[in-house]
Amino acid sequence: GAGVSQTPSNKVTEKGKYVELRCDPISGHTALYWYRQSLGQGPEFLIYFQGTGAADDSGLPNDRFFAVRPEGSVSTLKIQRTERGDSAVYLCASSLYETGELFFGEGSRLTVL
């Protein structure tokens, strides 16, 4: 498929556990974004990568959240010591360049029990 791919599509975990969410952007897209969407709300910006570096991580809610993109393609969002309030759909999006159209994946639904 040519779209943004996110895995897992669903993740259920217990409070306090560690979680990793993966995003595979469209091939050749240099810009990659993570958003979080709570039930009934619009997506909220978390972090933006240009290439391998996190160009803007101002949306990360606290230091339990971290994201990497080591080779400038696949990205992993990491959440430590999960809390029930972290339950949401985590969306990844990519664009060809930072002023291009944003393409979203279908999201990873995280449920923290």
- Determine contact, residues 67/80, Cβ cutoff 8 Å: no
- For another protein, which is the closer residue by CB, 3 or 16? 3
Tell me how far, at minimum, the Cβ of 105 lies from another protein, in Å: 5
Which residue's structure tokens are 């029930």?
84
95 near another protein, judged by CB under 8 A: yes
Ramachandran assignment for 30, one of left (phi > 0), alpha (psi -120 to 50 degrees), beta (any other) = alpha
- Smallest distance, Å, CB 96 to another protein? 10
Q: Within positions 59 to 88, which residues make up the interface with another protein, using CB under 8 A?
A: none
**Closer Cβ to another protein, 14 or 39, answer by number:** 39
Q: Which of 26, 31, 54, 60 binds another protein (CB under 8 A)?
A: 31
Residue 4 engages another protein in binding (rule: CB under 8 A): yes
| Tokens coding 75 | 């990205």
Q: How many CB atoms lie within 10 A of CB 8?
A: 13
What tokens were used for 91? 């969306």
Within 8 A by CB and 6+ apart from 38, the residues are 44, 88, 89
Indicate which single residue of 80, 98, 111, 113 sits in contact with another protein (rule: CB under 8 A): 98
Q: Which residues contact another protein by CB under 8 A? A: 4, 31, 33, 40-45, 48, 56, 91, 93, 95, 98-107
